[in-house]
Amino acid sequence: MEEGHKKILQRYRINIVTSLEPSSMYDRLLQKGVFTPDMIEKIKSSGTRRDQARQLARDLATRGSRAFPLFLECLKDSEQHSLAELLQSGAPAVQGSMSNRIILPVVRTLPVLDFQNQIKAAPIHPIQTPTPYASATAPDSENLQAQTQVRTRIQGRTRRDSPERYKMDASPCGHCLIINNVDFEPQSELSNRTGSNIDCDRLERRFQALGFLVEVRTNLKQRRIKHELSDLSKKDHSPYDCCVVIILSHGTEVSHNRFPGAVYGVDGQYVPVQYITTYLNGKHCPSLQGKPKLFFIQACGGGERDRGFEVPSDEAEPCSGGADDQTDAIPASSSSDSLSTSDEPDAGASLPTPSDILVSYSTFPGYVSWRDTQSGSWYIETLDRILEENAATDDLARMLVMVNNEVSQNSAKGIYKQMPGSFNFLRKLLYFQTSTLGQN
């Protein structure tokens, strides 16, 4: 699918999820060849109407160049004219901005002043406007090299051989350990985390596609969590460029110096995040010195439920969560509502601020983190989609801001909010490998 059409689907994702009636379109989408029968069955089995609409939009973005206009035709044929007109209204501007030129990552997002300063600072031959790309005649090699240099400097970031970005071209890129705690022992007084397997499957596929060696460990007690982290720290990471640890569990708020919170083993005993990060720091894992260590924590930051605050209507696009939204944490007290208790934050290490470490949290310290039993957690679902749609063009820090913004638009029961965030001690920009990702 063309990038412009993908952007339209992303821009109007909330409208699609809230108003699309997928059931009236399945036969039409099948007849027009937009989806295969297996894909239709996958969408049907994804859950509620909202879940089906969300899955349909996600799968649609993976189809060919004709998928978007055929989708619009199906909308009109099924009398969903309002949504068709909304999506079609966004098409001309996006398509027009893409015509007759090569789309260069994030050039559009840089301030004008930076654009001018970058051109002045580039000691290379002057070149013409991008018309050579629209002509049938290819530019000579010297001009092509000069244009590449200008584009690189104007973008303000380089994908290869730059001191401003981490080396991320090893194959495989590195190890990725996923700890998925779903079924908790009765004595832990922690509820089972229905829906976490959906998160785990998403992340396993995503990081495999990003070039990582993924290992999944399920239902670990506290001691076993420490053992797996210790084993990971003892591996020889010399051939690799990065290491990722993902923990899906209940959490609790504990005292900390650097990274807040802790995550629970299925036995009800927790491990502070400060110790989790310490296993892979430069002192305890020398083969990862100078290399990025990434930690993604789907766990509550505490027991408090954030009701948010009112903003002007154009500041946010409200998106209600599903009926099965739950949180992941220790039951603090009985409640008359049907919502579960929540995941809590992770604890920080009592060490000097570590370099080359990023810890991304599903929620702000002290607050709950929401999880839908049918479609998985808000944070992981959004993180997976943002990586899928933007890893080819954007660095990790920028993508996490996108995740923060999208999750902040959700509402559980139409009331409760969630705000992800990260503690970023990376020294450079981090771009994932995307050569192994499917191309449309």
Give per-residue pLDDT as tens, 265-324: 999 999 999 999 999 998 899 999 999 999 999 987 444 433 343 444 444 444 445 544
d(C-alpha 166, C-alpha 356), whole Å: 10
For residue 174, which phi and psi values (nearest 5 degrees)? 165, -175
pLDDT band at 12 (very low <50, low <70, confident <90, very high): confident
**Angle between helix 112-121 and helix 141-155 axes, rounded to 10 deg:** 140
d(C-alpha 437, C-alpha 338), whole Å: 40
435 pLDDT higher than 70 = no
**Angle between helix 67-77 and helix 49-60 axes, rounded to 10 deg:** 150
pLDDT per residue as tens digits for the range 220-269 = 999 999 999 999 999 999 999 999 999 999 988 877 667 888 999 999 99
d(C-alpha 329, C-alpha 371), whole Å: 11
Q: Quick one: which of 260, 294, 256 has its CA closest to 364?
A: 260
Name the strand (E) or helix (H) holding 293: strand 293-298
| 0.75 exceeded by pTM | no
Residue ranges and CATH numbers for the domains of the chain are 3-98 (1.10.533.10), 107-155 (no CATH), 174-424 (3.40.50.1460)
Q: What is the set of active-site residues?
A: 250, 300
430 with 394: CB under 8 angstroms?
Answer: no
Residue whose token pair is 């509502």: 337
SS3 at position 298: strand
What average pLDDT does the structure give for the chain?
75
Residue whose token pair is 């503690």: 423
Tokens for 386?
Answer: 């943002």
